[in-house]
Structure 1
Amino acid sequence: MRVFVTGATGWIGSAVVDQLLEAGHEVTGLARSGDSAAALERKGARARRGDLDDLDSIRTGATEADAVVHLANKHDFANPAVTNQTERNAVRAIGDVLAGSHRPFVLASALALLAPGRVATEQDRSPAHGPDSLRGGSENLALGFVERGVGTVVVRFAPTVHGEGDHGFVAGLVATARAKGVSAYLGDGINRWAAIHRSDAGRIVRLALDKRVPGGTVLHATAETGIPARDIAGVIGRGLRLPGVSIPAEQGGEHFGWLGRFFGADMAASSDATSSLLGWTPSGPGLVEDLDSGCYYR
């Protein structure tokens, strides 16, 4: 299968590309730079130059592919409106190209705000609608393409996709603890984060294509249902030999910056339906094991 991947050299995308190549697929990745293109070509993938603002390149990549995996996102938390609109534009461009073809379209989505206070499942529907909502409402937009003959499959990734080399949320928590001299959590710290190792996340995306998952399916890339924030802070504190402390929720922005609104959120989610559908079980280390390995503190 010829697979076009956006975000192909990113944290999750590089694991997905490795999985697809190992399974014998022909991969073309969207590459923003010469270095990114070279990294893809060294793996045996093809590179298509462009970025999320280059809709013509995205449309061409989708046109030439048997399946599209959209993982790229600007993640500019200082300018969410720009990030959300760019995401929506890219998803719409891909959907328009694939309309009527019934080709698979695997879309990366998130668990944020999905089911605060309880464990989210694949049956929960995203409350994000429209260009001003989280990720530009791209999940609901893409699922709407199913009626137009697109094989949309949504993969909601855990807030922490962890492993050596991670530069995401957990790496940000470690950096904040170093800078502040304490490993903090907000309030009582009982809010939970689902977690998954990068290798397991990559495998879920590959299985979604290999098993021809029906359009309209929602999958959860979570291996651990929910780890309390205070436990995460405690492990980081142990690794850095810093005290774990609670700070008032209203001070989250001051202490953590943009990360505060995420670390105070409750984002627990199960993957029972995903495991059953794909025949998938996680094999990578858990978040605490990864943190205890020392790879986040080097």
Structure 2
Amino acid sequence: MEVFVTGGTGEIGSAVVKRLVQDGARVIGLARSDASSAKLRAFGASAYPGDLRAPESWVSRAASCDAVIHLGATFSEDMGRVDRQSMLALKQASRHRKQPLKIIYTGGIWLFPATTGDSLLTEKTQFAPLPAFRFMTETIRTLSHGTDLNLTVIHPALACGQTTGPIAEMTAALKEGRPFETRATSQTKWALVEINDLAALYALALKNARFRMSLIASCIPGISVGHLASHISARHGLPLEIMTVPAPEATEPLTDWAAGFALSQSVDVSHAQRATGWQPEHSTIEDLVVSLSK
């Protein structure tokens, strides 16, 4: 299988590319620089020169592949416009294929509302996106219309790796003897997923034959920030203080990409497992902390 990947050198993208290569796929990654090209080749993938902001330079090549996994984002003021334009261009480039193009689009847990009490988010929960990510819901609707694309949308929970995500950041704060600063409170609940488990779900979704699918990718349904901090403290035998901080002054909602950390969310983790056979290795907070809190 030939798979075109955008964002293949990011934290999640790197894990996805490595997993696909391991599974025997021929992976072609969009590369905006020589450094990105070198990184992709080191993973065992090929590099295709191009930029998300100039989709005309790469969508034809992407549409010629068996599948596209979209993980790229600019995280700049034009992020929404770039995302919509690139996905619309890809949809248009796929119109004359004999078979619909398989595309996996990356949404996010912050497209969903906060939960309270024992309520759980599911794939059927109506979107209530933060302003900075509202564009994703529009892009998803665009990609869902018609029969040009075989669409799967994956909504990752907070992705945790050795050097990225809440556990790594909490561990770094603890070792440096400083409070962990966050928009959350100690009672805020976060849904979590280990980054290689997340990559495994992308690989399984790629093989799934269903024409339309939405998957929330979470291994830990929801753990309070205070409880997570206590696990990390116990792991290292040192106290970790949680310090809730406000949004920086003059932060615009449309570019406030960290606002989601203040959302308290718990999710039903079962659908992705039932739909794809996904069996995450890190399904308890103890496993996750021991694995990542070095």
Normalised by the size of structure 2, how large is the TM-score? 0.82
The 1:187/1:163 distance shift into structure 2, 3 A limit, reads closer
Aligned residue in 2 for 1:273: 271
SS in 2 for 1:233: helix
Aligned residues: 282
Aligned residue in 2 for 1:157: 156
Tell whether the 8 Å contact from 2:19 to 2:203 is kept in structure 1 after alignment: yes
Unaligned runs of 5+ in 1: none
How far apart in 2 are the matches of 1:163 and 1:232? 15
- Superposed CA deviations along residues 131-160 of structure 1, whole A, max 9, x for unmatched, are x9443522442343333211111000002x
Residue from 71, 81, 84 that aligns with 1:85: 81
Residue from 227, 230, 236 that aligns with 2:226: 230
How far apart in 2 are the matches of 1:186 and 1:163? 20
Unaligned runs of 5+ in 2: none
For residues 163-182 of structure 1, the aligned pairs below 5 Å read 163-166=161-164, 168-173=165-170, 181-182=178-179
Tell whether the 8 Å contact from 1:108 to 1:154 is kept in structure 2 after alignment: yes
Aligned residue in 2 for 1:196: 193
How far apart in 2 are the matches of 1:33 and 1:24? 25
How far apart in 1 are the matches of 2:283 and 2:184? 28
SS in 2 for 1:154: strand
The 1:100/1:137 distance shift into structure 2, 3 A limit, reads farther
Cα offset for 1:108? 0.6
The 1:139/1:27 distance shift into structure 2, 3 A limit, reads farther
Cα offset for 1:87? 2.1
Match for 1:120: what amino acid?
A: L
Aligned residue in 1 for 2:105: 107
Task: Identify which range, 193-202 or 137-146, moves more after superposition.
Answer: 137-146
Tell whether the 8 Å contact from 1:211 to 1:278 is kept in structure 2 after alignment: yes
Aligned residue in 2 for 1:145: 143
Cα offset for 1:88? 2.2
Match for 2:206: what amino acid?
A: L
Q: CA RMSD in A?
A: 3.0
Aligned residue in 2 for 1:2: 2
How far apart in 2 are the matches of 1:15 and 1:32? 19
Task: Identify which range, 173-182 or 19-28, moves more after superposition.
Answer: 173-182
Normalised by the size of structure 1, how large is the TM-score? 0.81
